[in-house]
Amino acid sequence: MLNKKGLIEHLKSSGVLKNSNIIEAFEKIDRADFVLEEHKLESYEDHPIPIGRGQTISQPTTVAFMLELLSVQKGDKVLDIGSGSGWTTALLSELVGSTGEVFGVERVSELVEFGSKNLAKYDFKNSKIIQAGDKLGLSNEVPFDKILVSAGADELPKELLTQLKTGGILVIPIGYSVWKIIKTTDEEIEEEEYKGFTFVPLIK
């Protein structure tokens, strides 16, 4: 059974964890702080773990892969859709630093509470998790430098592109692929597809 150091070494050796800032975030933000008590022994295993209401904390390989694609910088303003346990929100908060902001959005009220409680284990002044509204995203806080979506969509949600800055990056699962979307102009995007992933569904 892996410990935290063993998990990080596994992610590095498998080639999904490369960026030194992301490695440091994985070292500082302990996945064990974001799982239910009955699953603590699984905290450092490289697979999804149930967190209730049919939702999971994502597989570490998948989280590392998506964070590498997202290319978060210090000072970025980031939207984290489907924040769940709060783990990705915490990792993003570490990555943006004290000059950035992270907004976690979660549709399941019990998970808003669970994720917020977990996030509070760290002294971040720059992040919070809030209840998702009727519309996808967080239109009252636009624009965002980066948007991370941790639930699977059937197609690219156009409303998220409108919430992204020009030059910004959206990383989102669509079907069985993870897509990196770069908003090059108000009307144009660049797309990269990475196949072979499965997520809980995104419900608008």
- pLDDT tens by residue, 69-91: 999 999 999 999 999 999 999 99
CA 15 to chain CA mean position, Å: 19
Residue 196: its pLDDT value, please?
Answer: 82
148 has which bridge partners?
80, 171
Q: What is the mean pLDDT of the chain?
A: 94
Distance (Å, whole) CA 14 – CA 196: 16
pLDDT in tens, 87-115: 999 999 999 999 999 999 999 999 999 99
The yes-or-no answer on residue 83 being catalytic is: no
**Cβ neighbours of residue 166 closer than 8 Å, sequence gap 6 or more:** 183, 184, 185, 186
pLDDT in tens, 165-176: 999 999 999 988
pLDDT in tens, 34-67: 999 999 999 999 999 999 988 899 999 999 999 9
For 155, the token pair is: 């197609």
151 has which bridge partners?
none
Residue 201: its pLDDT value, please?
Answer: 67
| Structural domains in the chain plus CATH codes | 4-195 (3.40.50.150)
The total number of residues shown for the chain amounts to 204
Confidence of residue 185 (pLDDT cuts 50, 70, 90): very high
Q: With 80 as the cut, is the pLDDT of residue 186 above it? A: yes
Q: Are 107 and 132 in contact (CB under 8 A)?
A: yes
State the average pLDDT over residues 155-159.
93
Terminal C-alpha separation, the chain: 37
**Cβ neighbours of residue 110 closer than 8 Å, sequence gap 6 or more:** 52, 53
For 96, the token pair is: 């943006």
Residue 1: its pLDDT value, please?
Answer: 79
Confidence of residue 131 (pLDDT cuts 50, 70, 90): very high
Q: Considering 43, 58, 83, 116, which one is annotated as catalytic? A: 58
Residue 148: its pLDDT value, please?
Answer: 98
CA 48 to chain CA mean position, Å: 14
Q: With 90 as the cut, is the pLDDT of residue 200 above it? A: no
> 88 exposed, middle or buried (CB, 10 Å; 0-12, 13-18, 19+)?
buried
Q: Are 58 and 45 in contact (CB under 8 A)?
A: no
